[in-house]
Amino acid sequence: MSQDNQEQSVSSKESTSKSKTVFTMPGNRPGIQAVHVNAAREMVRLHTQGRRPPSSTTASTAVKGPVPPLPSTASSFPGASPHPHVSIPEGCKNPQCTHCGKVIIPAPQSSYPIQDTPAIAVKNWKIYTIKKPILNSTELEDLEARFHFPLPEMIFGNSRVKIVNEVSGESIEFNALDALDSLDSESHLKVSYHKEWLDSRRSEREKKEKEERGEVESRDLREFTDKLDTIEPYDWTYSPNYKGTTNIKFSESSQEIPIHRLTQPDPILFFDEAVLFEDELADNGISILNYKIRVMPTCLLLLCRFYLRIDNVIFRIRDTRVFVDFDQDLVIRDYRQQEYEYSELLKSVQRKSIGNDPKKLFRDHDWVSKNIPTINKVVESNQ
């Protein structure tokens, strides 16, 4: 302590001779060095150890080695479970909580990329999810025959969520590639400053043509833009028309998803969420397809949501909800589209004068969904 003070006074004495000391600090410290980095890392390591379950692994924490076997099969499911129809299928490597038997997601040992395939089975229904990293360059090359347009910058093409009825064979799954197959061939939407941008480009070209007429030599890279406009049109907003990949025979139904069963505080036995694809539209907004699933003892809800925000242009949401009643093997699919002008929503946010960061709300997909109108809705069921 006193030594620190001494150091401070020394350093301030030193520096006052040259310039005023701006910050109070100890004296001669080294700059950034590997040892600093190591120290920071070590602190984090200590801090994050709490992540590992202490009981079964205390013996192995000192030894870096294979992860000890974890309870992962149906037989190890606690006999005292209040839900006898629930089991953990083979192949699911996620451990269960020793207390309540819930599937732990992500598994405590998993490090990204999360390679395990968490799964749960309730009565006739089996539910699983796969989460993998974005596609690599080889995988992307293999897709060139399937997609003739530039793909979103992040494609989780190996990730999926799947619900299967083991008895009837009915299944529905959501994955990125099938969603991208369903895009329109082009989009009428443009970024907000499109006109301004086009105008400046036109005037540049006119300038160049003038220069050429005046026989001023002006060969520059602009010559490469003269013969073309855009690349082959495609839906650059990546708005899918996708209600899942399924063999279920759906027909229009008047039976809505029973909200009361989803709002009662049933325990959630299984929850997972993941992004299927995502693109920042070259910083003009966001286009993202993701899913969330929660499994309760008697039913499940899956939401696959497409969210599009083009800054200063539009919001667009396309939600597919799948509800499964395990007792009746009933599947209800609710698909709805929402759209709203950006400026309209911004106005209503400003009216409510929500803080000094209104755009924060525009990154909250749920908030946007609750605050923009629905333009189309279809409810179907398998019964």
Q: Choose between 242 and 323: whose C-beta lies nearer to other proteins.
A: 323
Q: Choose between 170 and 183: whose C-beta lies nearer to other proteins.
A: 183
Q: Choose between 2 and 356: whose C-beta lies nearer to other proteins.
A: 356
Q: Are 166 and 126 in contact (CB under 8 A)?
A: yes
Of the candidates 110, 36, 126, the residue with the CA atom closest to the CA atom of residue 74: 126
Radius of gyration of the chain (CA): 28
Q: Choose between 227 and 351: whose C-beta lies nearer to other proteins.
A: 227
Distance between CA atoms of 34 and 57, rounded to whole angstroms? 31
Q: Report how far Cα 351 is from the mean position of its chain's Cα atoms.
A: 30
Q: Are 67 and 109 in contact (CB under 8 A)?
A: yes
Q: How far is the CB of 190 from other proteins (least distance, A)?
A: 4
Q: Are 306 and 369 in contact (CB under 8 A)?
A: no
Check residue 189 and give left, alpha or beta (phi > 0: left; psi -120 to 50: alpha). beta
Q: Are 117 and 150 in contact (CB under 8 A)?
A: no
Distance between CA atoms of 222 and 225, rounded to whole angstroms? 5
Q: How far is the CB of 153 from other proteins (least distance, A)?
A: 5
Q: List residues bridging with 339 in a β-sheet.
A: 316
Q: How far is the CB of 37 from other proteins (least distance, A)?
A: 5
Q: How far is the CB of 209 from other proteins (least distance, A)?
A: 15
Q: How far is the CB of 90 from other proteins (least distance, A)?
A: 22
Of the candidates 272, 269, 266, the residue with the CA atom closest to the CA atom of residue 303: 272
Q: Choose between 97 and 375: whose C-beta lies nearer to other proteins.
A: 97
Distance between CA atoms of 159 and 281, rounded to whole angstroms? 22
Q: How far is the CB of 143 from other proteins (least distance, A)?
A: 13
Q: Choose between 170 and 340: whose C-beta lies nearer to other proteins.
A: 340
Burial of residue 109 (number of CB atoms within 10 Å: 0-12, 13-18, 19+): middle
Distance between CA atoms of 289 and 131, rounded to whole angstroms? 14
Look up residue 50 and give its amino acid: G
Q: How far is the CB of 126 from other proteins (least distance, A)?
A: 20
SS3 68: coil
Enter the tokens of residue 87: 């089991």
Enter the tokens of residue 103: 């599937």
Q: How far is the CB of 273 from other proteins (least distance, A)?
A: 8
Q: Choose between 18 and 351: whose C-beta lies nearer to other proteins.
A: 18
Ramachandran angles phi, psi of 319, nearest 5°:
-105, 130
Q: Choose between 164 and 274: whose C-beta lies nearer to other proteins.
A: 274
Q: How far is the CB of 181 from other proteins (least distance, A)?
A: 18
Q: Choose between 170 and 277: whose C-beta lies nearer to other proteins.
A: 277
